[in-house]
């Protein structure tokens, strides 16, 4: 007598006849139109009368918008689990999370063998299914290290890479009737999917008992297993003729106890009768939902997502986990969840957040914000997770992770106007646009998120030719702290548009931007490695050469202490933003004279190839101490101070990124990044603040402010450096309007006016 509290779902169980393929697809479309959640199909690959189910699932998913699809149940012996895992993940990505996996151990043994499938006893089939589930989950588990391997007797896998990661946690549902299969459901599956034709209703309690006990023995909460039921042999009629053979009201009356007493939460209507589909979707489903809701409210049945006891113990205080808005629940990740390792850290910072919310649209961002504001824990916003000044993780708090909002769309192929979801990464943006002959100068790492750069600046390899990333923004879409969804541009709230381009992290969660890409084919990259033992004179010379270069050139320099007793070495990446190789060679040649050259290479390459590739889930390399400043020339004093910082080992490396050129074409008051006349951004990384600051304090009087993205200090003392007057006063006025309660307080927080 159990109600597991799952939300109710309804679907159809359709015959994939190959005689009239359009009819089958039409029934699936009707399933969606009737408001049902799921279309499922039998899978008998040995039967030529039927369409291949997997192909059909893809077709139906592309013809529908909301409907989820599943095999009911897939014939495992004829579908290798690693291939199936990739196929399911691929379709789940394409359909944005609309695939579930119904699996069977494989009936119809002779037909299976006739088609070349393995010959297995009933017991071996269960073992094979168990092995297959482990393999499928391992392929999807891209967060664990190493390849997928198995020495299992049924599916030996010597080694294959993991991935792709499905769009959502695909449910594995097993068609099961006998005790060993039921035990497997409890131990490993997400759902039990029997059919009325094979299962007597009187056997439901015993099936549930075996599953529950097996789940508990495996350390799982029985509520982790959804109970589904294929309703075969049913019909609608105006008068009652028996169980599920009568008017819709009778169906509701007869299904209600199955929910409240046997825990069934997904009903799948068998048969291919369009009228029955309509009645089931339009009359039975809503009425049953209402009746169940009423009963559950009276009884106080818990309805949140089920989690194992160990996962519940990992929850952090101060977060109302049961109160997570329904729309965000499925993709939310808690410490005890399988996907936690992949979302807990940033690129730099290691984290232990209590909850990661992963909205998929601006409305969900608003819901996430409203919910997070109710909790008394830190809130961090994450796009790409590469934050240095602003952490995108925390300890015990909430992270709003925009990684799912990662669309990249060329809106106008003539002007290069592009729309980017802020959860996209710049490496993907560069590749996608590069294929069409466009590029946006962002930064040197392809893993950095659109959100972090589009809200602060973006000093990239083509800055002097095309400006900062923010200089090319034409519109910004954001959700404010109080949940307003805004789109701002030069004509709509221009002051907020101004503020988001430099101090966006203070004013809201930016969900998408529109930006003008530049027409860029290939570029020319010069890579130089120098002996920088004469550090100060090298720096001066290199800085002068860079400053004298035409604006097609943007040069980045990383200066580090040498290894094994050697003096400092420097590596420069010098990019000529154009394909004219003669002009590029002329522009790059002077860099050979900056100091003794240990190595040099030049190549013509697509812009996307310059960016360091993103390497999968962040592992948190460790939070460095970092100082950031902007300078004019590399004066003798500055060169001496930086040289001392490097040769002492107090900074393990210091980077120079060139600005000026097109960056300086913008007026200081045009965006909230005001430092237009600077020529270089300097970022020094070290291990100890005290030792780094000995040098940095000598540099500070010589700085022209700072680019905030490279500094790990975020207190009030550095605010004026990031936002010189009158920028700071304007931002404080904006903060008072859009975030007076200082919800966004994790990245150079600005006090409201
Ligand atoms: C290896 C590496 C290389 C880098 N190279 C460059 C470079 O060449 N040029 C350059 O300009 N910068 C560079 N940076 C700095 C980088 O631009 C910033 O750290 C940026 O904030 C990272 O963006 P993200 O979306 O990945 O960060 P996240 O860690 O996701 O976010 C960092 C902070 O930005 C804010 N934020 C992020 N997304 C949003 C949003 N959608 N709405 C509102 N606020 C948001 C939040 O305050 C958040 O805490 C580099 C950083 C790293 C780690």
* 510-526 residue pLDDT tens: 999 999 999 999 999 99
* Confidence check: pLDDT of 717 > 90: no
Of all atoms in ligand 1, which is nearest to the CA of residue 384? 26
Rounded distance between C-alpha atoms, residue 452 and residue 677, angstroms:
23
| Atom 20 of ligand 1: nearest residue by CA position | 452
Of all atoms in ligand 1, which is nearest to the CA of residue 468? 11
Rounded distance between C-alpha atoms, residue 381 and residue 451, angstroms:
9
In the CATH hierarchy, which top-level class contains the domain 522-736? Answer: alpha beta
User: β-strand 191-192 against 38-41: which pairing, if any?
Assistant: unpaired
445 CB less than 6 Å from ligand 1?
yes
Mean pLDDT for 247-254 is 97
Q: How far is the CA of 451 from the centre of ligand 1 (A)?
A: 7
Would you say 341 and 143 are in contact if contact means Cβ atoms under 8 Å apart? Answer: yes
423 CB less than 6 Å from ligand 1?
no
Using one digit for the tens of pLDDT, what is the confidence trace for 563-602? 777 889 999 999 999 999 999 999 999 999 999 999 999 9
Q: How far is the CA of 442 from the centre of ligand 1 (A)?
A: 11
452 CB less than 6 Å from ligand 1?
yes
* Confidence check: pLDDT of 455 > 80: yes
In the 3-class helix/strand/coil scheme, how is 145-162 assigned residue by residue?
CCCEEECCCCCCEEEECC
**Secondary structure class of 136 (helix, strand, coil):** helix
**Looking up tokens 């927080």, which residue turns up?**
749
| Atom 23 of ligand 1: nearest residue by CA position | 452
448 CB less than 6 Å from ligand 1?
yes
Question: What is residue 317's predicted lDDT score, i.e. its pLDDT?
Answer: 93
User: What is the gyration radius of the CA atoms in the chain, in angstroms?
Assistant: 30
pLDDT confidence band for 145 (50 / 70 / 90): confident
Question: What is residue 561's predicted lDDT score, i.e. its pLDDT?
Answer: 85
Long-range contacts of 293-300 (CB under 8 A, 24+ apart): 295/256, 295/260, 296/3, 296/5, 299/3
Sheet strand arrangement including 553-560: 597-606, 522-531, 569-576, 553-560, 653-658, 680-686, 625-631
Domain segments of the chain as ranges? 9-299, 522-736
Rounded distance between C-alpha atoms, residue 256 and residue 291, angstroms:
7
pLDDT confidence band for 471 (50 / 70 / 90): very high
489 phi, psi to nearest 5 deg: -155, -165
Rounded distance between C-alpha atoms, residue 405 and residue 228, angstroms:
32
Q: How far is CA 39 from the centre of its chain?
A: 27
Query: In 3D, which of 623, 181, 553 has the Cα closest to residue 392?
Result: 623
Would you say 481 and 508 are in contact if contact means Cβ atoms under 8 Å apart? Answer: yes
Residues of the chain with pLDDT > 70: what percent? Answer: 99
606 class by beta-carbon count within 10 Å (0-12 exposed, 13-18 middle, 19+ buried): middle
166 CB less than 6 Å from ligand 1?
no
Would you say 174 and 147 are in contact if contact means Cβ atoms under 8 Å apart? Answer: no
Rounded distance between C-alpha atoms, residue 141 and residue 162, angstroms:
7
686 class by beta-carbon count within 10 Å (0-12 exposed, 13-18 middle, 19+ buried): buried
286 class by beta-carbon count within 10 Å (0-12 exposed, 13-18 middle, 19+ buried): middle
Rounded distance between C-alpha atoms, residue 700 and residue 19, angstroms:
78
| Atom 33 of ligand 1: nearest residue by CA position | 390
Question: What is residue 146's predicted lDDT score, i.e. its pLDDT?
Answer: 84
**Secondary structure class of 484 (helix, strand, coil):** coil
Would you say 416 and 519 are in contact if contact means Cβ atoms under 8 Å apart? Answer: yes
Question: What is residue 308's predicted lDDT score, i.e. its pLDDT?
Answer: 67
pLDDT confidence band for 658 (50 / 70 / 90): very high
**Looking up tokens 């973006």, which residue turns up?**
458
595 CB less than 6 Å from ligand 1?
no
Query: In 3D, which of 370, 372, 358, 366 has the Cα closest to residue 328?
Result: 358
Of all atoms in ligand 1, which is nearest to the CA of residue 509? 42
Would you say 263 and 194 are in contact if contact means Cβ atoms under 8 Å apart? Answer: no
Rounded distance between C-alpha atoms, residue 522 and residue 335, angstroms:
44
Mean pLDDT for 241-259 is 96
pLDDT confidence band for 477 (50 / 70 / 90): very high
Of all atoms in ligand 1, which is nearest to the CA of residue 707? 11
Superfamily the domain 9-299 falls into: Luciferase-like domain (3.20.20.30)
Would you say 611 and 426 are in contact if contact means Cβ atoms under 8 Å apart? Answer: yes
**Looking up tokens 């808690």, which residue turns up?**
334
Q: How far is the CA of 500 from the centre of ligand 1 (A)?
A: 14
Q: How far is the CA of 511 from the centre of ligand 1 (A)?
A: 14
Rounded distance between C-alpha atoms, residue 346 and residue 459, angstroms:
21
Would you say 469 and 477 are in contact if contact means Cβ atoms under 8 Å apart? Answer: no
Measuring CA to CA, how many Å separate 709 from each of 97, 296, 504, 653, 738? 34, 50, 12, 17, 22
Of all atoms in ligand 1, which is nearest to the CA of residue 469? 11
Output the six-digit token pair for 554: 């943007």
Using one digit for the tens of pLDDT, what is the confidence trace for 147-196? 999 998 999 999 999 999 888 889 999 999 999 999 999 999 999 999 99
453 CB less than 6 Å from ligand 1?
yes
Burial 258-281 (b: 16+ CB within 10 A, else e): bbbebbbbbbbbbbebeebbbbbb
User: β-strand 553-560 against 653-658: which pairing, if any?
Assistant: antiparallel
**Torsion angle of the four alpha carbons 108, 114, 116, 120, in this order, in degrees rounded to the nearest 10:** 40
Using one digit for the tens of pLDDT, what is the confidence trace for 303-359? 766 776 667 888 999 999 989 998 898 889 999 887 788 899 999 999 999 999 999
Would you say 633 and 679 are in contact if contact means Cβ atoms under 8 Å apart? Answer: yes
């Amino acid at each position: 007598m159990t109600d597991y509290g799952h939300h109710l779902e309804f679907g159809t169980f359709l015959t994939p006849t190959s005689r009239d393929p359009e009819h089958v697809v039409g029934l699936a479309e009707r399933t969606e139109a009737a408001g049902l959640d799921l279309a499922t199909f039998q899978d008998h690959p040995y039967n030529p009368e039927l369409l291949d189910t997997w192909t059909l699932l893809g077709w139906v998913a592309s013809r529908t918008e909301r409907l989820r699809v599943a095999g009911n149940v897939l014939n495992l012996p004829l579908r290798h689990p690693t291939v199936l895992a990739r196929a399911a993940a691929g379709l789940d990505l394409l359909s944005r999370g609309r695939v579930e996996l119904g699996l069977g151990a494989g009936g119809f043994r002779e037909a299976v063998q006739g088609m070349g499938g393995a010959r297995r006893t009933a017991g071996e089939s269960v073992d094979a299914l168990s092995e297959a589930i482990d393999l499928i989950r391992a392929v999807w588990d891209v967060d664990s290290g190493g390849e997928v391997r198995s020495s299992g007797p049924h599916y030996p896998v010597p080694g294959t890479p993991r991935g792709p990661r499905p769009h959502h946690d695909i449910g594995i549902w097993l068609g099961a009737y006998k005790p060993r299969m039921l035990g497997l459901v409890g131990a490993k599956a997400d759902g039990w999917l029997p059919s009325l034709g094979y299962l007597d209703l009187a056997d439901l309690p015993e099936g549930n008992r075996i599953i529950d006990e097996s789940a508990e023995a495996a350390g799982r909460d029985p509520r982790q297993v959804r109970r589904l039921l294929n309703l075969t042999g049913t019909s609608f009629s105006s008068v009652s003729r028996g169980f599920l053979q009568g008017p819709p009201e009778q169906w509701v009356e007869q299904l209600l106890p199955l929910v409240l007493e046997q825990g069934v939460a997904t009903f799948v209507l068998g048969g291919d009768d369009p009228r029955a589909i309509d009645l089931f979707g339009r009359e039975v489903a809503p009425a049953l939902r209402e009746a169940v809701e009423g009963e559950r409210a009276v009884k106080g049945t818990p309805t949140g997502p089920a989690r194992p006891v160990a996962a519940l113990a990992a929850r952090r205080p101060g977060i109302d986990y049961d109160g997570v808005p329904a729309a965000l629940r499925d993709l939310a990740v808690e410490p005890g969840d399988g996907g936690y390792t992949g979302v807990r850290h940033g690129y730099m910072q290691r984290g232990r957040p209590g909850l990661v919310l992963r909205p998929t649209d601006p409305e969900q961002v608003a819901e996430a914000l409203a919910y997070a504001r109710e909790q008394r824990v830190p809130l961090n916003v994450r796009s790409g997770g590469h934050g240095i000044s602003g952490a995108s993780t925390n300890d015990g708090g909430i992270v709003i992770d925009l990684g799912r909002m990662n669309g990249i769309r060329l809106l106008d192929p003539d002007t290069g106007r592009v729309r980017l979801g802020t959860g996209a990464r710049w490496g993907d943006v560069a590749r996608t646009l590069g294929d069409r002959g466009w590029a946006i100068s962002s930064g040197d790492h392809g893993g950095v998120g659109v959100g972090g750069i589009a809200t602060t600046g973006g000093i990239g390899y083509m800055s002097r030719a095309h400006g900062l990333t923010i200089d090319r923004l034409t519109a910004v879409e954001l959700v404010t702290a109080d949940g307003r969804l805004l789109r701002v541009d030069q004509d709509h709230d221009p002051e907020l548009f101004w503020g988001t381009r430099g101090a966006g992290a203070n004013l809201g969660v930016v969900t998408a931007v529109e930006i003008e890409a530049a027409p860029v084919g290939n570029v020319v990259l010069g890579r130089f490695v120098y002996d920088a033992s004469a550090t100060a004179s090298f720096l001066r010379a290199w800085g002068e050469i860079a400053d004298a270069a035409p604006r097609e050139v943007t040069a980045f320099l990383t200066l580090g202490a040498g290894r094994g007793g050697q003096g400092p070495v420097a590596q420069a990446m010098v990019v000529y933003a154009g394909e004219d190789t003669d002009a590029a060679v002329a522009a790059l040649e002077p860099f050979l004279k900056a100091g003794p050259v240990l190595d040099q290479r030049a190549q013509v390459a697509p812009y996307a190839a310059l960016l360091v590739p993103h390497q999968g889930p962040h592992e948190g390399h460790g939070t460095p101490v970092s100082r950031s400043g902007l300078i004019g020339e590399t004066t003798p004093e500055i060169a001496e101070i930086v040289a001392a910082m490097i040769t002492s080992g107090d900074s393990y490396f210091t980077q120079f990124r060139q600005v000026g050129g097109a960056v300086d074409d913008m007026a200081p008051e045009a965006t909230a990044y005001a430092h237009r006349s600077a020529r270089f951004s300097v970022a020094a990384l070290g291990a100890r603040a005290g030792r780094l600051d000995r040098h940095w304090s000598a540099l500070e009087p010589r700085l022209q402010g700072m680019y905030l993205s490279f500094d790990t200090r975020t207190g009030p003392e550095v605010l004026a450096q990031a936002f010189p007057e009158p920028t700071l006063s304007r931002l404080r006025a904006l903060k008072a309007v859009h975030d007076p309660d200082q919800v966004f307080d994790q990245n150079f927080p600005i006090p409201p006016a």
